[in-house]
């Protein structure tokens, strides 16, 4: 007996000691809620039928998401680093056939907006140039209430069901044991998650592509991601996807360039947006919609409710209906950009939700997050979040209450105030939810139509140009080379082989492995504990569309050079006539020219003109510019030839495939570069010496060819051809 008692006491003391030290080791343990309840399915929200709406009674989802939403304070859990601007939205086409939303039916209106761009993964102090998705959130201050279109620069997402979101973010954030790496996906926990989540295949193609490192916020697309609903005045509904198309085209930077920018100016995108607006070069996007009639919900080989799928523009063209213009910078970053609170649930009459299970989780999560981050339920009273309408309801009190409500009643229905504030009827603009039919058993699961994970990933990859495919391959090689666990690399190689065998083979060569022909464990582990592997196995099929032109940035408009920054390399003795001629031609097209010299202040032209200097070689770098021009002038050219930073500037611009122009008498400086040695000794009046390298004696000819080259953005042909063993 004494022995048994001692054993029990020892066990009790051990448990108390573990509790006091907060020791937890989940190895070999069953997943539970915070209350110790064993969880059968942690991958699917509770729904009314497989394709039905998510149910509020899902206490497991709410506990998981509530904890996640409150994990960080005060910065946003995701999208912490951002930049914002004010602007206007002007409707060009009446959409009353599809929606009764006033700002989408009255072409005489200009709707005020506030837009916040952001990186997703990093903290507030991280770089703008991380390889990452970018947030593109727009708050429309309509006279029917605020409408928030909370989207990204990528039209799809990693996951299909919102209950998986905390796991995704935990995986991509810095690893738990050492808080490394910051704002980066190249580490084990992220790729461990991805390799076990095949529904992420399509998003991985996008996030590893050049789309993930945009040249500017002004030169990236935006997407609402989800299928929403339009509802017109007659109560008829259709599905809609939202798009933002930049008028300057869609452009990126090279990965090596992004890494350099991160070290030299981590505020690059913020600065670019601010300076463009301050200078009057207001960024603009066309607002577009893809509309799918209610009766066509099941017409396509993908499910409209699946956030990992897009609607190819070949099947449903984007209808451009209005223009967004950003024309005013914030007066105070914290009060506006940091305190702005977006929410997918901020809609107006005429816009409603589909049964997308990722969207339904966001409808809960956003309000919950703002309650924690902004300190209480009155965040809507912060000026940047206020509706242009005066708010009338029976909500009172709470942290930081600003609105002063008169009278003693705060309930409804009431007789004391004549029933006020009264409910608005539908004819008076009151919001009513679309009466979508709902049926089915309560179930944790998802429709079989969600199980095709690879056909659109293949579509995206096959739609890229060869340089874009090469960059995507390089990105995967870089990322997986950073993964230390070989089993994760092998799993990812098998994963990639489902998208493209050639892609998987190239990555396998780079990471020193072979592509597995099979896996020891099933590809899809995101299933209920008691479901079979076959029941939740991915559907393998080929899509009917081989390529989609809209998915390649090569097919984005590229002739517009407005706001492109051109570096002019010069020193004392430069030919001022050449500088002025090229500068006038470029600025007439909307480009921005900056003279870079060995010192600040002024340099002297060969005819004693005084030329202002914008930056020195010590503070400037080629990665901040879209193209380079070297004017003539014997002394200037000789100085540049002997200046290592000037030669490095040119070499780097060449490496990043940018347009380079120079006067024929500047060839001496160009010959000092590694690429200049390959140029022919041709001093004819007009010469394109190689892709994007232009020389001429005639300023007019040089300007014309240079402008055309800058409009092409990059000359990826300069990159080395692939030499990967078969």
Torsion angle in degrees (nearest 10) through CA of 268, 274, 277, 283: 50
Task: Give pLDDT, residue 723.
Answer: 46
Length of the chain: 726
- CATH number for the region 558-718 comes to 3.40.50.880
Please, is 30 exposed, middle or buried when counting C-beta atoms within 10 Å of its C-beta (0-12, 13-18, 19+)? exposed
Task: Please state, for a pLDDT cut of 90, what percent of the chain lies above it.
Answer: 70
Alpha-carbon separation of residue 148 from 120, 289, 348, 471 (angstroms): 18, 16, 9, 34
| 272 or 17, higher pLDDT | 272
| 69 phi and psi angles, rounded to 5 deg | -60, -25
* 152 is annotated as an active-site residue: yes
Kindly state the average pLDDT of the residues 142-161.
95
Angle at 259 between CA 253 and CA 264, to 5 degrees: 100
Q: Among 4-13, 99-108, 124-133, 589-598, which is the least confidently predicted range?
A: 4-13
Report whether pLDDT(544) > 60.
Answer: yes
Angle at 55 between CA 50 and CA 58, to 5 degrees: 105
* 648 is annotated as an active-site residue: no
- Rounded to an integer, what distance in angstroms lies between the CA atom of residue 694 and that of residue 476? 34
The residue among 76, 595, 118 whose CA lies nearest residue 341 is 76
- Rounded to an integer, what distance in angstroms lies between the CA atom of residue 213 and that of residue 208? 9
Task: Please state, as a whole number, how many other Cβ atoms lie within 10 Å of the Cβ of residue 11.
Answer: 10
pLDDT tens, 60-78?
898 888 878 877 657 888 9
Alpha-carbon separation of residue 650 from 154, 467, 506 (angstroms): 33, 22, 31
Confidence of residue 726 (pLDDT cuts 50, 70, 90): very low
Which distant-in-sequence residues (6+ apart) come within 8 Å of 557 by Cβ?
Answer: 249
Confidence of residue 689 (pLDDT cuts 50, 70, 90): confident
- Rounded to an integer, what distance in angstroms lies between the CA atom of residue 208 and that of residue 691? 26
Report whether pLDDT(660) > 70.
Answer: yes
Angle at 295 between CA 293 and CA 301, to 5 degrees: 90
Kindly state the average pLDDT of the residues 262-282.
97
The answer to whether the CB of 215 falls within 8 A of the CB of 261 is no
pLDDT tens, 179-193?
999 999 999 999 999
Report whether pLDDT(522) > 90.
Answer: no
List the catalytic residue out of 44, 79, 243, 378.
79
Q: Are strands 237-246 and 615-616 parallel, antiparallel or unpaired?
A: unpaired
The residue among 608, 668, 662 whose CA lies nearest residue 638 is 668
Tokens at 197, concatenated: 């989540």
Q: Where are the alpha helices (DSSP H) in 374-500?
A: 455-463, 466-481, 486-497
pLDDT tens, 376-401?
888 888 889 998 887 888 888 888 88
- β strands within 487-542, DSSP E: none
Q: Indicate the SS3 state at residue 115.
A: strand
**What is the full DSSP assignment across 644-703?**
HHHHHHHHHHHHTT-EEEEEGGGHHHHTTSTTGGGS-----SEEEEETTEEEES-HHHHH
Task: Please state, for a pLDDT cut of 70, what percent of the chain lies above it.
Answer: 94
Report whether pLDDT(681) > 80.
Answer: no
| 405 or 582, higher pLDDT | 582
The answer to whether the CB of 227 falls within 8 A of the CB of 358 is no
The residue among 173, 146, 193, 164 whose CA lies nearest residue 76 is 173
Task: Give pLDDT, residue 716.
Answer: 92
Report whether pLDDT(4) > 60.
Answer: no
Which distant-in-sequence residues (6+ apart) come within 8 Å of 393 by Cβ?
Answer: 421
Report whether pLDDT(226) > 80.
Answer: yes
Tokens at 677, concatenated: 């040695």
User: What top-level class would CATH report for the domain 55-168+224-385?
Assistant: mainly beta
Task: Give pLDDT, residue 114.
Answer: 97
Half-sphere exposure of 527 (CA within 13 A, CB side): 19
pLDDT tens, 431-478?
888 988 888 898 888 898 999 999 999 999 999 999 999 999 999 999
- Sign of the alpha-carbon dihedral angle for 298, 301, 303, 307: negative
Kindly state the average pLDDT of the residues 159-169.
95
- Rounded to an integer, what distance in angstroms lies between the CA atom of residue 668 and that of residue 702? 17
Task: Give pLDDT, residue 519.
Answer: 84
The residue among 700, 488, 681 whose CA lies nearest residue 584 is 700
- Rounded to an integer, what distance in angstroms lies between the CA atom of residue 583 and that of residue 704? 12
Tokens at 130, concatenated: 């991380």
In DSSP terms, 605 is beta-bridged to 574
The residue among 624, 620, 566 whose CA lies nearest residue 590 is 566
Element (H, E) at 505: helix 501-511
Confidence of residue 13 (pLDDT cuts 50, 70, 90): low
Confidence of residue 6 (pLDDT cuts 50, 70, 90): low
For the entire predicted model, the pTM comes to 0.90
Kindly state the average pLDDT of the residues 571-597.
96
Confidence of residue 724 (pLDDT cuts 50, 70, 90): very low
Task: Give pLDDT, residue 685.
Answer: 56
The answer to whether the CB of 566 falls within 8 A of the CB of 593 is yes
Report whether pLDDT(708) > 90.
Answer: yes
Packing angle between helix 501-511 and helix 466-481, nearest 10 degrees? 40
The residue among 216, 155, 166 whose CA lies nearest residue 66 is 166
Confidence of residue 22 (pLDDT cuts 50, 70, 90): low
The answer to whether the CB of 710 falls within 8 A of the CB of 591 is yes
Report whether pLDDT(7) > 70.
Answer: no
Task: Give pLDDT, residue 521.
Answer: 76
- Rounded to an integer, what distance in angstroms lies between the CA atom of residue 635 and that of residue 576? 12
Report the phi/psi class of residue 420: left, alpha or beta, with left for phi > 0 and alpha for psi in -120 to 50: beta
The residue among 286, 331, 305, 291 whose CA lies nearest residue 45 is 305
Domain parsing of the chain, residue ranges: 55-168+224-385, 558-718
Task: Give pLDDT, residue 67.
Answer: 79
- Rounded to an integer, what distance in angstroms lies between the CA atom of residue 374 and that of residue 335? 11
Alpha-carbon separation of residue 381 from 140, 340, 344, 346 (angstroms): 16, 11, 18, 15
- Chain centroid to CA 279: 25
Q: Among 206-220, 276-290, 415-429, which is the least confidently predicted range?
A: 415-429
| 84 or 542, higher pLDDT | 84
| 447 or 480, higher pLDDT | 480
List the catalytic residue out of 44, 146, 152, 153.
152
Report whether pLDDT(2) > 50.
Answer: no
Rg of the Cα trace of the chain?
29
pLDDT tens, 481-507?
999 999 999 999 999 999 999 999 999
Kindly state the average pLDDT of the residues 657-679.
92
The Cα diameter of the chain in Å comes to 108
The residue among 324, 322, 361 whose CA lies nearest residue 168 is 361
Q: Are strands 46-48 and 319-328 parallel, antiparallel or unpaired?
A: unpaired
The residue among 479, 456, 474 whose CA lies nearest residue 194 is 479
């Amino acid at each position: 007996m004494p022995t048994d008692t001692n054993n029990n006491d020892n066990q009790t003391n051990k448990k108390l000691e573990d509790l006091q030290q907060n020791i937890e080791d989940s190895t070999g343990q069953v997943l539970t809620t915070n209350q110790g309840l064993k969880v059968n399915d942690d991958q699917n929200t509770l729904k009314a039928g497989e394709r039905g709406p998510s149910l509020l009674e899902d206490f497991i989802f709410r506990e998981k998401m509530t904890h996640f939403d409150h994990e960080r304070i005060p910065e946003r859990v995701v999208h912490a680093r951002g930049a914002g601007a004010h602007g206007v939205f002007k409707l060009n086409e009446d959409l009353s056939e599809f929606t009764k939303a006033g700002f989408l039916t009255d072409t005489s209106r200009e709707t005020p907006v506030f837009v916040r761009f952001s990186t997703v993964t990093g903290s507030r102090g991280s770089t703008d140039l991380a390889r990452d998705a970018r947030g593109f959130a727009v708050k429309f201050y309509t006279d029917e209430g605020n409408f928030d279109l909370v989207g990204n620069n990528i039209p799809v997402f990693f996951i299909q069901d919102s209950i998986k979101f905390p796991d995704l973010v935990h995986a991509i954030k810095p690893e738990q044991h050492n808080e490394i790496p910051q704002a980066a996906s190249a580490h084990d926990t992220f790729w461990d998650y991805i390799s076990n989540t095949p529904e992420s295949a399509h998003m991985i193609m996008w996030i590893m592509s050049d789309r993930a490192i945009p040249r500017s916020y002004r030169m990236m697309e935006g997407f609402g991601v989800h299928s929403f609903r339009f509802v017109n005045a007659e109560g008829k509904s259709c599905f809609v996807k939202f798009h933002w198309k930049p008028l300057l085209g869609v452009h990126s930077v090279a990965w090596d360039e992004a890494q350099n920018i991160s070290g030299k100016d981590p505020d690059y995108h913020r600065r670019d947006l601010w300076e463009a607006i301050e200078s009057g070069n207001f960024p603009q996007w066309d607002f577009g919609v893809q509309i799918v009639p209610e009766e066509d919900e099941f017409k396509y080989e993908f499910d409209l409710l699946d956030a990992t799928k897009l609607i190819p523009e070949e099947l449903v063209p984007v209808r451009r209906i209005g223009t967004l213009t950003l024309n005013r910078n914030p007066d105070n970053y914290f009060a506006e950009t940091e305190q702005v609170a977006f929410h997918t649930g901020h809609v107006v009459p005429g816009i409603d939700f589909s049964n997308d299970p990722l969207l339904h989780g966001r409808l809960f999560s956003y309000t919950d997050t703002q309650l924690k981050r902004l300190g209480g339920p009155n965040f809507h009273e912060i000026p940047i979040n206020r509706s242009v309408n005066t708010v009338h309801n029976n909500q009172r009190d709470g942290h930081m209450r600003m609105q002063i409500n008169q009278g003693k009643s705060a309930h409804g229905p009431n007789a004391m105030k004549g029933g006020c504030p009264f409910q608005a009827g539908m004819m008076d603009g009151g919001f009513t939810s679309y009466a979508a039919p709902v049926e089915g058993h309560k179930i944790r699961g998802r429709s079989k139509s969600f199980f095709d994970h690879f056909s659109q990933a293949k579509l995206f990859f096959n739609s890229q140009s060869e340089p874009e495919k090469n960059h995507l391959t390089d990105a995967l090689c870089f990322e997986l080379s950073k993964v230390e666990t070989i089993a994760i690399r092998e799993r990812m190689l098998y994963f990639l082989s489902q998208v493209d065998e050639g892609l998987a083979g190239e990555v396998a060569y780079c990471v020193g492995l072979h592509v597995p022909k099979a896996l020891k464990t099933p590809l899809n582990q995101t299933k209920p504990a008691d479901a079979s592997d076959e029941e939740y196995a991915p559907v393998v099929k080929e899509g009917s569309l081989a390529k989609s032109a809209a998915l390649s940035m090569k097919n984005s408009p590229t002739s517009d050079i407005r706001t492109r920054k051109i570096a002019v390399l010069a020193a004392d003795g430069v030919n001022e006539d050449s500088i002025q001629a090229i500068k006038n031609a470029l600025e007439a097209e909307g480009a921005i020219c900056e003279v870079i010299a060995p010192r600040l202040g002024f340099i002297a032209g060969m005819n004693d003109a005084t030329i202002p200097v914008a930056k020195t070689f010590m503070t400037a770098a080629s990665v901040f510019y879209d193209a380079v021009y070297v004017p003539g002038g014997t002394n200037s050219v000789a100085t540049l030839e002997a200046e290592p930073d000037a030669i490095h500037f040119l070499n780097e611009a060449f490496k990043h495939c940018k347009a380079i122009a120079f006067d024929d008498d500047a060839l001496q400086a160009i010959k000092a570069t590694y690429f200049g040695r390959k140029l022919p000794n041709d001093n004819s009046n007009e010469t394109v010496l190689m892709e994007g390298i232009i020389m001429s004696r005639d300023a007019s000819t040089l300007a014309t060819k240079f402008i055309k080259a800058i409009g092409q953005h990059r000359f990826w042909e300069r990159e080395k051809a692939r030499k990967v063993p078969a």
